[in-house]
């Protein structure tokens, strides 16, 4: 086990930091205010290789791993959680096509997703089925070499912005998770429309919309993996996605801690910097400790994934812990900064709003506890 970044990881951290300072940080307030997604910056991330980090070089990837990918996500999230989430969401079709797609699908889509020539999304959730993902109702009826898909997807990040989506739909109606199939659908397909932009607590630069599918005619070659294998594909993708959400949450927490710390050493009350009061310095110490612990958990999940070892429980633990501490850290950062923390003149109130959704996306933290405890029961059962 090695707790130091290697040379490649150090270089990557430096280059993404420089990119973020130049292309992201100066514009974040404007993107959030105008609720506009910076697609041109996403494209620059792609052109600079940051979107293809854990994918094979033959498909325009960097041939690295999740340990490198989370370095990039954390740095982006320190400046813009909206952009980090868009990168993480783009990663779901990337990893699904990379892991489960056939050669033709990989050649057709992976290089473009890695360079952001096209961007991607993931459509699982429906108005009536969120945590209970295996009960989705969107239906794909097989007719010869086509599927006709009808249904509604809800809370889809980047819907309307992304060009391509991995969409989960039932292909049978027995109620089993084995009825679900993963499809590649594209924005331009006839019968696909998008709902209004949802008004959200945070991440306002990203678009969240419903997707309506009315007799969408999808060729059989757009099935990813096999018919009936979609639920497992979605679950495995979410295992990886949870690592990216943990990294995003750590980025938000780091940014909040930095802001609070800078404030605490410069703000004076009762004749001295407020950091000299334990009521301020101890919460800062807790922030630093918990952020570091969350990063270690996240790095461990990424380490296991990169080695092809089981990591589902570790990814859930990383997501649970990192997002919970991001909520705690951002809330306490606002508190350390008092009235100024509550004002929009400082970014900590935004970090607090952004941290909240991290406890919800890619499986609520209650679902993470379900996943973790089921693994624990399975592990102990083997010894009984």
Q: Which residues pair with 9 in a beta bridge?
A: none
What's the CA dihedral at 322, 327, 331, 332 to 10 degrees? Answer: -20
Q: Which residue is nearest to ligand COS (CB)?
A: 363
The nearest distance, CB 129 to ligand COS, in angstroms, is: 9
Task: State how far the Cα of 35 lies from the Cα of 54, in Å rounded to an integer.
Answer: 30
Nearer to ligand COS, 57 or 128 (CB): 128
* Angle ∠(139,114,218) on CA atoms, nearest 5: 25
The nearest distance, CB 135 to ligand COS, in angstroms, is: 8
Task: State how far the Cα of 81 lies from the Cα of 351, in Å rounded to an integer.
Answer: 8
32, 227, 349, 362: which is the annotated catalytic residue?
A: 362
254 included as an active-site residue: no
Nearer to ligand COS, 227 or 254 (CB): 227
The nearest distance, CB 315 to ligand COS, in angstroms, is: 9
237 Cβ contact list (under 8 Å, min separation 6): 92, 95, 96, 122, 166
* Cβ neighbours of 279 (radius 10 Å): 9
The nearest distance, CB 14 to ligand COS, in angstroms, is: 31
The nearest distance, CB 157 to ligand COS, in angstroms, is: 7
Nearer to ligand COS, 333 or 357 (CB): 357
365 Cβ contact list (under 8 Å, min separation 6): 319, 320, 323, 324, 359
The residue ranges that bind ligand COS (CB under 6 A) are 122, 124-125, 131, 133-134, 177, 231-232, 235-236, 238-239, 312, 361-363, 367, 370-371
Task: State how far the Cα of 114 lies from the Cα of 75, in Å rounded to an integer.
Answer: 18
Nearer to ligand COS, 69 or 122 (CB): 122
Report, as residue numbers or ranges, the catalytic residues.
362
């Amino acid at each position: 086990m090695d707790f130091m970044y290697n040379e490649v990881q150090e270089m990557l951290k430096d280059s993404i930091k420089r990119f973020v300072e130049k292309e992201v940080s100066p514009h974040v307030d404007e993107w959030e205010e105008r609720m506009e997604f910076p697609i041109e910056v996403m494209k620059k991330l792609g052109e600079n290789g940051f979107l293809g980090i854990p994918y094979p070089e033959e498909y325009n990837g960097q041939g690295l791993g999740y340990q490198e990918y989370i370095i990039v996500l954390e740095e982006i999230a320190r400046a813009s959680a909206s952009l980090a989430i868009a990168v993480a969401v783009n990663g779901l079709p990337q990893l699904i096509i990379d892991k489960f797609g056939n050669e033709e699908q990989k050649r057709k889509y992976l290089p473009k997703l890695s360079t952001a020539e096209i961007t991607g999304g993931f459509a699982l959730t429906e108005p009536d089925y969120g945590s209970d993902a295996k009960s989705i109702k969107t239906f794909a009826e097989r007719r010869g070499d086509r599927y006709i898909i009808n249904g509604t997807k809800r809370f889809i990040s980047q819907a309307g912005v992304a060009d391509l989506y991995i969409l989960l739909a039932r292909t049978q109606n027995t109620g089993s998770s084995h009825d679900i199939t993963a499809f590649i659908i594209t924005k331009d397909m006839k019968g696909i429309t998008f709902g209004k932009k949802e008004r959200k607590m945070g991440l306002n630069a990203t678009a969240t919309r419903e997707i309506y599918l009315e007799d969408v005619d999808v060729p059989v070659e757009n099935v990813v993996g096999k018919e009936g294998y979609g639920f497992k594909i979605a679950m495995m993708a979410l295992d990886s996605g949870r690592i990216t959400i943990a990294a995003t949450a750590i980025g938000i927490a780091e940014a909040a801690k930095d802001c609070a710390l800078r404030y605490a050493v410069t703000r004076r009350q009762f004749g001295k910097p407020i950091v000299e009061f334990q009521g301020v310095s101890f919460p800062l110490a807790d922030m630093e400790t918990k952020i570091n612990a969350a990063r270690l958990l996240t790095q461990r999940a990424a380490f296991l994934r990169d080695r092809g070892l089981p990591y589902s429980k570790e990814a859930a633990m990383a997501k649970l812990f990192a997002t919970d501490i991001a909520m705690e850290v951002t809330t306490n950062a606002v508190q350390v900064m008092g009235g100024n923390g509550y004002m929009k003149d400082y970014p900590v109130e935004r970090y607090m709003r952004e941290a909240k959704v991290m406890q919800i996306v890619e499986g609520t933290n209650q679902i993470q506890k379900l996943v973790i405890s089921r693994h624990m029961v399975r592990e102990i059962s083997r010894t009984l």
